[in-house]
């Protein structure tokens, strides 16, 4: 299974391999989900909230997203879909930096 920090800074997937941004991980690893989204890192923020199962953080991210976009999302399911969040972490067996 993938570690929390690797999952947060995953930028994409190739099969069962997570592709992780090593530079983002090194620079922003101590930030909260809200701090990440305030810097514009929506995918990392959504990944963090999903990994931590933090509904309150997801709702705050959704609120910030809707404030800054003309197309508003109805809920966290759409937010996860738009940023390509994978919730089945058991399928990830390798990490590539």
Instruction: Please give the tally of structural domains in the chain.
Output: 1
Tokens standing for residue 69? 């976009």
Tell me the three state secondary structure of residue 96: strand
Give dist(CA 33, CA 13) in Å, integer: 21
**pTM score over 0.75:** yes
pLDDT tens-place string over residues 38-89? 999 999 999 999 999 999 999 999 999 999 999 999 999 999 999 999 888 8
Q: Which residue range(s) make up the domain with 89?
A: 4-96
Tokens standing for residue 40? 């514009």
Residues contacting residue 3 through CB under 8 Å, at least 6 positions apart: 95
pLDDT tens-place string over residues 13-52? 999 999 999 999 999 999 999 999 999 999 999 999 999 9
């Amino acid at each position: 299974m993938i570690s929390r920090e690797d999952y947060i800074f995953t930028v994409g997937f190739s099969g069962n391999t997570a592709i992780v941004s090593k530079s983002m991980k090194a620079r922003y690893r101590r930030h909260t989900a809200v701090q990440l989204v305030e810097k514009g890192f929506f995918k990392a923020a959504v990944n963090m909230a999903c990994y931590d199962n933090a509904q309150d953080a997801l709702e705050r991210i959704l609120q910030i997203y809707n404030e800054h976009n003309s197309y508003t999302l109805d809920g966290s399911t759409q937010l996860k879909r738009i940023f390509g969040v994978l919730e089945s972490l058991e399928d990830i067996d390798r990490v590539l930096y």
